[in-house]
Structure 1
Amino acid sequence: MIELKNVSKTFVSKKSTVTALDDVSIHVQKGEIYGVIGYSGAGKSTLIRCVNMLEKPSGGEIIVNGVTMTGLSSNKLREARQNIGMIFQGFNLLKTATVYDNIAIPLKLTGIPKAEIDERVNKYLAVVGLEAKADSYPSQLSGGQKQRVAIARALSHEPDVLLSDEATSALDPETTESILSLLLKINKEFGITILLITHEMHVVQKICDRVAVMENGKVIEEGKVIDIFSQAKTDTTKKFINSLFPEDIPSEVINSLKEQGPIIRLSFVGQSTGKPALAEVSKKFNVYTNILSGNIVQLKNEPYGRMVIHLEGANEETEAAVRYLEEVGVQVERVNL
């Protein structure tokens, strides 16, 4: 549905040359929610703006729904963009226009008949739950309501692809949850492919099927969300994941325990999160388990849990306990906190 092939983007000024994208290749499949995460300056905003050619790549190829965007004339590009909706962090609403007109005006500019415009505006205001706000102005809306209007505006063009540029980063946690639920609903009910960029791992955790991690203009890791959580390879990816699993264990505690047995990090994926593995360890082996930290989060399709524990006991017993945990599907990593 969306394919970037060896895309690069360089910004040149009198004083410097900045490479925002460096040979980036990703493939977003039809109907999925694909996230791109990275810290500030990673290149993710440039990437998403290149998809609909708001930024023209310096090299490479961009294909959206079978159309090679990088080879289009200005007229053809305007036509192709009608199939790509976009929502922004700053909402981009007309302050002097009502909610209805913020959605209707872009439709008028594309030549859609008035009766159809009215039908679409009402339909997508209902989808985002703002039927009663049609005659309100942006100044009368909350941040979450403004973003819902922006989403309705993007949907009103009935695109196959929706781009989300940090759509929740300006919102409070409760409103963020509601917007993420709305994006999930849109993806499920309309089958719209969603490409989003974010610097919040919570967003990826809640709604994404796959994710790419960016750093210094490059994709450094990419895959299914559950695989990235359970098998992260790079330090940057691990930092993002660790933001959901704090391990601020006092050094005094670590020093007092490490001589009495190993400290290990356990990762529970899917059904293994519901198994009483630690209870079984204490029954089967002559060891004591001490939980130092832990949490379970719900990914889009399955739960993922992680905890750090200390196993106290003789070496042969703790090693046998570790082997047992691995045998029942728990991922085990020895850590030096």
Structure 2
Amino acid sequence: MIELSNITKTFVSKKGKVEALKNVSLNVRKGEIFGVIGYSGAGKSTLIRCVNLLEEPTSGTVKVDGEELTSLSAKQLLDARRKIGMIFQGFNLLKTATVYENIAIPLKLTGVPKNEIKERVEKYLTIVGLMERKDAYPAQLSGGQKQRVAIARALAFEPSVLLSDEATSALDPDTTEAILELLLKINKELGITILLITHEMHVIQKICDRVAVMENGEVVEQGMTLDVFTAPQHYTTKKFVNSIFNHDVSEDIIDSLKDQGKIVSLKFIGNTSKEPALAYVSKKFEVFPNILSGHITHLKGQPFGSLLVHLNGEEPEVKKAIDYLLEEGVQVEGEVNYDVNSKRIPS
């Protein structure tokens, strides 16, 4: 549905050149929700703006629904963009127009018949749950309601693709949750492919089928959300995973225990999170598990638990215990190391 091939973007200013994107390639499948996550300055916003050519790539090709946008004329590109909806962090609503008019005016400007405009506006206001607020003005709406209007406006063009540029970043946690549920509903019921960018792990966890991790203008890791975040390879990905679980155990505690057995990170994924594998360890082996920190979360509905555990025992028994946990489907990662911010993360 969306195919980005070897995309580069270089900005030139008086201070010199800045490489915002470096040879980025992504393939977003039809009907999925694909997330791109990265810290500030990673190149996420530039990347998503290249999809509809709000930013023209310096090199590389952009295909949406089989059509290569980088080869289109200005008129053809305008037509193609109508099938690519976009929602922004700042909502971009007309302050002097009602909710109804904010959706209807763009349709009118593109020549949609009057009777069809009314039908579309009411349809999509109903989908986003704001039909009763159609005569309100943006100043009378909450942040979440404004974002719902922006989503309805994007949907009114009946796009095949919806781009989300940090759409929940300005919202409180409860409102963010409601907007994410709405995006899931839109994806499921309307079959719209969604590509979103974010710096929030919760957004990726909640709705994304697949994910790409960006750092310094490059995609450093990508794949199924569950695979990427349960077995992260790149340092940046590990930092994002660590931000979910936040195993904040003091250095003194870890240092006092590391010579009495082994400190490991255990990950329980899917059905393994429901099995009492760790409880059996002390019964089967001369090992006494001590849980230092633990959390359970979900990745696109799949339970994902992480424990930081001290396995107290002699080395041969600890090894047997680890082998047993591995056989039971538990991921076991070795000694805990420091990151550059002096927070410990699994190696």
Q: Could you say which TM-score interval applies, normalised by the shorter chain?
A: over 0.9
The one-letter code sitting in structure 1 at the alignment partner of 2:89 is: Q
Residues 272-320 of structure 1: per-residue CA shift (max 9 Å, x gap): 1111011111211121110011111111141111111001112221111
Partner of 1:30: 30
- Structure 1 CA distance for aligned equivalents of residues 254 and 143 of structure 2: 44
Residues 33-61 of structure 1: per-residue CA shift (max 9 Å, x gap): 00011111111100000100101111000
Partner of 1:311: 311
- Structure 2 CA distance for aligned equivalents of residues 44 and 315 of structure 1: 46
- Structure 2 CA distance for aligned equivalents of residues 131 and 286 of structure 1: 64
Counting only pairs closer than 5 Å after superposition, residues 16-165 of structure 1 correspond to structure 2 as 16-165=16-165
Partner of 2:7: 7
Structure 2 residues without counterparts, runs of 5 or longer: 338-347
- Structure 1 CA distance for aligned equivalents of residues 312 and 160 of structure 2: 56
- Once the two structures are TM-superposed, the CA of residue 15 in structure 1 deviates from its matched residue by 2.0
- Structure 2 CA distance for aligned equivalents of residues 336 and 216 of structure 1: 26
Size of the aligned set, in residue pairs, is 337
Counting only pairs closer than 5 Å after superposition, residues 290-305 of structure 1 correspond to structure 2 as 290-305=290-305
Q: Which moved more, 1:94-103 or 1:298-307?
A: 298-307
- Structure 1 CA distance for aligned equivalents of residues 111 and 139 of structure 2: 28
The one-letter code sitting in structure 1 at the alignment partner of 2:290 is: N
Counting only pairs closer than 5 Å after superposition, residues 255-270 of structure 1 correspond to structure 2 as 255-270=255-270
- Structure 2 CA distance for aligned equivalents of residues 144 and 255 of structure 1: 46
- Structure 2 CA distance for aligned equivalents of residues 295 and 116 of structure 1: 50
The one-letter code sitting in structure 1 at the alignment partner of 2:331 is: Q
- Structure 1 CA distance for aligned equivalents of residues 109 and 269 of structure 2: 49
The one-letter code sitting in structure 2 at the alignment partner of 1:134 is: K
Query: Secondary structure at the residue paired with 1:220?
Result: strand
Query: Secondary structure at the residue paired with 2:95?
Result: coil
- Once the two structures are TM-superposed, the CA of residue 14 in structure 1 deviates from its matched residue by 2.1
- Once the two structures are TM-superposed, the CA of residue 259 in structure 1 deviates from its matched residue by 1.6
The one-letter code sitting in structure 2 at the alignment partner of 1:199 is: H
- Once the two structures are TM-superposed, the CA of residue 222 in structure 1 deviates from its matched residue by 0.6
Counting only pairs closer than 5 Å after superposition, residues 231-242 of structure 1 correspond to structure 2 as 231-242=231-242
Residues 98-124 of structure 1: per-residue CA shift (max 9 Å, x gap): 000000001101111111111111111
Residues 118-161 of structure 1: per-residue CA shift (max 9 Å, x gap): 11111111101111100000000000000000000000111000
Structure 1 residues without counterparts, runs of 5 or longer: none
- 2:204 aligned with 1:173: no
Cα RMSD (Å) of the superposition?
0.8
**Percent identity between the aligned chains?**
66
The one-letter code sitting in structure 1 at the alignment partner of 2:167 is: A
The runs of at least 4 aligned residues of structure 1 exceeding 3 Å deviation read: none
Query: Secondary structure at the residue paired with 2:164?
Result: strand
- Structure 1 CA distance for aligned equivalents of residues 30 and 298 of structure 2: 24
Query: Secondary structure at the residue paired with 1:309?
Result: strand
- Structure 1 CA distance for aligned equivalents of residues 11 and 252 of structure 2: 49
The one-letter code sitting in structure 1 at the alignment partner of 2:82 is: Q
TM-score (norm 2): 0.96
Query: Secondary structure at the residue paired with 2:136?
Result: coil
Query: Secondary structure at the residue paired with 1:70?
Result: helix
- Once the two structures are TM-superposed, the CA of residue 215 in structure 1 deviates from its matched residue by 0.9
